Structure 1
Amino acid sequence: MSVDNISHLGATGLDELVPSRYAVQIGDIEVLVISDGVLPITASTLATNAEPADLVGWLDDNFLPPEVVDWPLNVIVVRSGDQTILVDAGLGLEFPDFPRAGQTVMRLEAAGVDLAAVTDVVLTHMHMDHVGGLLTEGLKDRLRPDLRVHASTAEAEFWAAPDFSHTVMPQPIPDVLRSVASRFLDEYRSRLRTFETEYEVAPGVLVSRTGGHTPGHSVVRLESRGEKLTFAGDAVFAPGFDNPEWQNGFEHDPEDAARVRRRLLREVAATGEQLVATHLPFPSVCRVAAVGDAFRCVPAVWDY
């Protein structure tokens, strides 16, 4: 994978009117943001503890519909040294009710990323829109036999008997989440490499458990030659900048998730580093500015 080769017109497999990949250089580390597509989500799930009028106001201010919104899905590919690391794997192709998502494998191929060259997969957590891509029919046989899949110990243990008592998810999502995570662990347990608090996957690539969204939810911090980028997974959603206390219906510990979100946004605002997150609009590359007790997402200027 080369930033020069994948970020310009004429690259092999470029067949989309709107690009679905975006390259960022962090010192010596190459980063490729890939759009897995979008999911429809009930708007109320974005802020289960907000006053309905406040949420409607936020949606209106952001030109979003009041009932169902499109939820972006992003993954990243990281190249550090001789390692190629896929961070999260998208939804996969086994969910016909979500035909506009599950594009990661196709878009990796369009970007010239050979699946057999992927040395590591890092999972921020094991919700279906983060592991489903690894369950796509025929994919496992295309991965290298010594592939390492990294996730926190707490995450793997949680899905043995998941507790959804604090979530506010529409049916039948909880059962599907449980089924997909169980299947993933069955199929990939031999390749799973777990860590307790943090683990350096490759030079300058550190995965750190935050908890909150799920007990083992993790973020990936990249640092090289004084430049930094954090992939926040599901620690940050679009409403969370203006309203970091708003709770998402998929959060398994909503109060802890809000603490994680505020702490992470304060850190990123203080360092000035770049931020990418799963459910921010593609390519989601931004910086964070603190405004009192809230924050602003300042989109990066596209470098083309």
Structure 2
Amino acid sequence: MTYPVSRRSLLALSAGLGASTMFGSSALARAPKLGTEPSYFYRFNLGSAEVTAVSDGPLALGDPKGTFTGVPDDELRKMLSDNFLAPDNVVLEQNSPIVNTGDKLVLFDTGLGTAKGFGPTTGRQQKSMAEAGIKPEDIDAVVFSHAHIDHIGGVVDEHDKVLFPNAQFYIAQSDFDYWTDEGKMGGQWKDFVVHARKNLMPVRDRLVFYKDGQEFLPGIQALAAPGHTVGHHIFMISSEGKSFAYLGDLSHHPVLLMEKPRMEFSYDTDPKQAAESRVRMLDMLAAGRIAVLSYHYPWPGIGHVVKTAEGFHFIPQPMQMIL
């Protein structure tokens, strides 16, 4: 006799409950809950280079209404719920790659650091690096995709001491000039300017300005993708014929800004230019089948971009736990 799926599921559930009762609760008490967090790093090889992704912790944006614009609110919520995501609380990750080329140890972006405007779960990059066995004094280069608060916030500690004493720092000059401009202190971006100045001015004499298309470090090429900020860049990282693109903030969400890449994002300096950059770069990455690592995608943010009829789709890459 063939049973409907719903009845089979009910019978399986009953059997499971029976087994739990048979073994009793004392079996569970033998192994108390540990309540400890796993380490927040992931390591993989890229040609002869070694890449370690570290996290600054989850960043809660809250309700998508007003942050993601250009699409009706009910459609936004449906897009999220259809992908098993909370429709009323968008949570982003903060994934930074650290690339060991053999000659240089290069960190991309530094998280929110001491800034707590996006909740208490951020600011753990230094802890993640320690879990990965990487010391801040061993970092040779810190590369900023742009100067927003969640990318430059971890240069100094709570006492304004620079955390990377031996590093050279790299950024687009247009972004440095824009976000350290004291004339913007009275506007909507006040907190962003305050934290940019707090973290970038102490290393001003160690800043190097990269340019679009420039391979400014061996195997690391900057590609301009403006709009999110005036000087936002993504980076092609290559070693022995293998490569991936670090996307920075090209796309903040793996569903909303992929399925509808021309949707606008309220934190963009120029939302329409950001959308143009997003479509142009995602087209290139999809056509070239180039792996990507996105700063704000679900941990560890690694995967591929594929073209769809209306936009794009992000396919996460399975984590390889054996190097």
Bucket of the pairwise TM-score, normalised by the shorter protein: 0.7 to 0.9
- CA RMSD in angstroms comes to 2.2
How far apart in 2 are the matches of 1:198 and 1:139?
Answer: 33
Aligned residue number for residue 47 of structure 1: 68
How far apart in 2 are the matches of 1:87 and 1:79?
Answer: 12
Aligned residue number for residue 227 of structure 1: 242
The answer for unaligned runs of 5 or more in structure 1 is 1-14, 165-171
Aligned residue number for residue 141 of structure 2: 120
Correspondence for 1:73 among 79, 89, 94:
94
Q: Is 1:25 matched with 2:42?
A: no
How far apart in 2 are the matches of 1:61 and 1:142?
Answer: 42
The answer for unaligned runs of 5 or more in structure 2 is 1-34
Deviation at residue 184 of structure 1 after TM alignment: 2.2
Q: Is 1:218 matched with 2:233?
A: yes
Q: Is 1:98 matched with 2:115?
A: no
How far apart in 1 are the matches of 2:182 and 2:262?
Answer: 24
Stretch deviating more after TM superposition (152-161 or 231-240): 152-161
For normalisation by structure 2, the TM-score amounts to 0.81
How far apart in 2 are the matches of 1:134 and 1:242?
Answer: 34
Deviation at residue 207 of structure 1 after TM alignment: 2.2
Aligned residue number for residue 274 of structure 2: 257
1:35 and 1:226, CA in 2 relative to 1: closer, same or farther beyond 3 A? Answer: same
How far apart in 1 are the matches of 2:66 and 2:222?
Answer: 27
How far apart in 2 are the matches of 1:143 and 1:215?
Answer: 26
Aligned residue number for residue 149 of structure 1: 169
How far apart in 2 are the matches of 1:130 and 1:16?
Answer: 27
- AA aligned to 2:144 is L
For normalisation by structure 1, the TM-score amounts to 0.86
1:37–1:102 contact (8 Å) kept in structure 2: yes
1:103 and 1:18, CA in 2 relative to 1: closer, same or farther beyond 3 A? Answer: same
Cα deviations by residue, 1:97-120 (Å, 9 ceiling, x for unpaired): 621011101110111111111010
1:96 and 1:289, CA in 2 relative to 1: closer, same or farther beyond 3 A? Answer: closer
Cα deviations by residue, 1:60-115 (Å, 9 ceiling, x for unpaired): 11222233222211111011131000100011134276210111011101111111
How far apart in 2 are the matches of 1:96 and 1:254?
Answer: 22
Structure exhibiting the larger radius of gyration computed from Cα positions: 2
Structure with more of its chain in strand, by fraction:
1
2:59–2:122 contact (8 Å) kept in structure 1: yes
Q: Is 1:302 matched with 2:319?
A: yes
Cα deviations by residue, 1:266-285 (Å, 9 ceiling, x for unpaired): 11111112111111000111
| 1:183 aligned counterpart, secondary structure | helix
1:257 and 1:272, CA in 2 relative to 1: closer, same or farther beyond 3 A? Answer: same
Deviation at residue 208 of structure 1 after TM alignment: 2.4
Aligned residue number for residue 208 of structure 2: 193
- AA aligned to 2:133 is G
How far apart in 2 are the matches of 1:261 and 1:222?
Answer: 18
How far apart in 2 are the matches of 1:277 and 1:249?
Answer: 19
1:152–1:209 contact (8 Å) kept in structure 2: no
How far apart in 1 are the matches of 2:109 and 2:148?
Answer: 10
Deviation at residue 175 of structure 1 after TM alignment: 2.1
